[in-house]
């Protein structure tokens, strides 16, 4: 990614301190379980280790460490029964989700041969869950419980842990990068309009405003011919250009210059997201940039910076979330309906994610006019694979709260539009009429 971010995940384990002097063999047992558990946390996140907590004081120390590290998520391993004072002091001052990991070491008891320390150390993972959840509710803390087993491996539990770490990555990315708004939203699309202060207060995402005059001149100092050659080759490696193209073609070289400049701009401004719309005369420098902005921004999306057309900041956020958790994020909207086939055609014009184009190499073509917008130039089309597709939209209610709207459908085989926009044939379980 052009701007790297790494979530900070607090991890600690808890056990009732009264057990340890009674059954000293539990100390190495619990330490071994905790060390093994930490290895299940994905290396894609930064682990903030709160240690094994058996007293209120140790919980307070862990909480101080987590607060100082500004963690994005807390994962608490329940080793055996523990009281709430082993947990609450560690999370009391944090406003992040708490995940209770309730993994029993052994899959099944040997009932006749099990003594008390074996039961407490290897078979008592579920004893504290109800107490912990009750106190988390009373403390107003968001929480979840993952229950499973260590013996033999537990892919379902491991997948849940990894999902939570991906969610933490989203939080860190929104808080540690900025969103650029170039120009303003498409005129009249009032659902796009957004209160940037509310956005910052609720999601931690700061908006940086940029004028198009700065963007037109952004590539003026890019004159390293070798770097331009390399970037032009990267563009042609990414896109199949209608009618063919060479790294020596002037439009491709101009595009390469702008991509180089945009990449540096993204790094300098710590941009994880971009929302842009141009509604000028598209002449001179403005016309040059406008004509190639779609593929140029597609090259940024490929490197992890979400870029949304029409100045739609909420779409840029949704794209960034999908890119962060799944590796791909593509702008789309309801396009057409094929009624006899009960198919929704879903797609959009504009910049896209090359990583989603698994069915065919992305294509690039020149059109004389961008429909509904200023100017004309390059369109890019991407070809998602057949199979399950997840849709994520972000909207707001009358109180300014952000909401997810999520749908899942099937990209099915058949003809698609070929005029330069990414589009898919989507079948939904409720049917096209109901979905639309």
Question: In order of start, what are the domains of the chain with their CATH numbers?
Answer: 8-174 (3.40.50.10940), 177-435 (no CATH)
Residue 126 has pLDDT above 90, yes or no: no
**CA–CA gap between residue 138 and residue 155 (Å, rounded):** 32
- What percentage of the chain carries pLDDT values higher than 90? 99
Residue 265 has pLDDT above 90, yes or no: yes
List, for residues 231-241, the tens digit of each pLDDT value: 999 999 999 99
**CA–CA gap between residue 314 and residue 303 (Å, rounded):** 20
Query: Can you give the pLDDT at residue 181?
Result: 98
Query: Which residues touch 149 (CB under 8 Å, ≥6 apart)?
Result: 103, 104, 105, 106, 107, 157
If we measure between CA atoms, which residue out of 101, 93, 96, 103 comes closest to residue 132?
101
217 DSSP 8-state letter? T
What is the sign, positive or negative, of the torsion defined by CA atoms of 72, 162, 121, 51? negative
Report residue 425's pLDDT band, with 50, 70 and 90 as the boundaries.
very high
List, for residues 12-48, the tens digit of each pLDDT value: 999 999 999 999 999 999 999 999 999 999 999 999 9
List, for residues 355-414, the tens digit of each pLDDT value: 999 999 999 999 999 999 999 999 999 999 999 999 999 999 999 999 999 999 999 999
- Mean pLDDT for all residues in the chain: 97
Residue 125 has pLDDT above 80, yes or no: no
Query: Can you give the pLDDT at residue 6?
Result: 97
Half-sphere exposure of 344 (CA within 13 A, CB side): 22
Contact by Cβ (8 Å): 109, 149: no
C-alpha distances in Å from residue 343, one per residue of 333, 340, 426, 429, 432? 14, 8, 6, 11, 6
Residue 76 has pLDDT above 90, yes or no: yes
80 DSSP 8-state letter? S
Question: What's the predicted TM-score (pTM) here?
Answer: 0.94
Residue 127 has pLDDT above 90, yes or no: no
Q: Are strands 402-411 and 387-396 parallel, antiparallel or unpaired?
A: antiparallel
Residue 50 has pLDDT above 90, yes or no: yes
- What percentage of the chain carries pLDDT values higher than 70? 100
Report residue 134's pLDDT band, with 50, 70 and 90 as the boundaries.
very high
């Amino acid at each position: 990614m052009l701007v790297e971010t790494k979530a900070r995940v607090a991890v600690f384990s808890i056990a009732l301190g009264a057990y340890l002097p009674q059954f000293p063999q539990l100390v190495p047992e619990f330490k071994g379980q905790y060390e093994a558990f930490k290895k299940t946390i994905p290396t894609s996140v930064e682990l903030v280790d709160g240690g094994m907590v058996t007293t209120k004081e140790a919980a307070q120390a862990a909480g101080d460490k987590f607060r100082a590290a500004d963690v994005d998520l807390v994962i608490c391993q329940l080793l055996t029964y523990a009281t709430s004072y082993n947990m609450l002091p560690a999370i009391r001052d944090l406003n992040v989700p708490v995940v209770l990991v309730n993994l029993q070491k052994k899959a099944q008891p040997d009932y006749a041969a099990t003594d008390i320390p074996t039961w407490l150390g290897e078979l008592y993972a579920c004893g504290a869950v109800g107490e912990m959840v009750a106190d988390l509710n009373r403390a107003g803390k968001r929480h979840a419980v993952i229950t499973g087993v260590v013996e033999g491996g537990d892919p379902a539990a491991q997948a849940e842990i990894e999902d939570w770490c991906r969610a933490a990555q989203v939080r860190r990315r929104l808080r540690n990068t900025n969103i650029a708004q170039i120009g303003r939203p498409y005129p009249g699309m009032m659902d796009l309009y957004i209160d940037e202060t509310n956005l910052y207060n609720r999601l931690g995402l700061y908006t940086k405003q940029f004028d198009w005059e700065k963007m037109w001149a952004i590539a003026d100092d890019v004159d390293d011919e070798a770097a331009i050659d390399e970037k032009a080759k990267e563009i042609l490696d990414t896109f199949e250009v209608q009618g063919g193209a060479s790294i020596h073609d002037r439009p491709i070289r101009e595009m390469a210059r702008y991509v180089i400049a945009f990449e540096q701009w993204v790094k300098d401004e710590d941009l994880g997201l971009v929302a842009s719309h141009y509604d000028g005369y598209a002449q001179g420098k403005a016309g040059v940039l406008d004509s190639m902005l779609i593929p140029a921004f597609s090259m940024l999306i490929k490197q992890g910076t979400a870029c949304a057309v029409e100045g739609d900041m909420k779409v840029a956020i949704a794209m960034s979330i999908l890119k962060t958790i799944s590796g791909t994020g593509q702008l789309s909207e309801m396009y057409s309906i094929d009624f006899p086939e009960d198919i929704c055609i879903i797609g959009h014009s504009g910049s896209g994610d090359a990583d989603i184009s698994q069915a065919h190499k992305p294509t690039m073509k020149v059109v004389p006019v961008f429909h509904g917008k200023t100017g004309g130039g390059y369109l890019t089309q991407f070809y998602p694979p057949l199979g399950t597709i997840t849709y994520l939209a972000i909207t707001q209610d009358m109180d300014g709260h952000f909401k997810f709207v999520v749908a899942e459908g099937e990209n099915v085989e058949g003809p698609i539009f070929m005029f330069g926009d990414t589009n898919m044939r989507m079948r939904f379980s409720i049917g096209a009429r109901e979905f639309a």
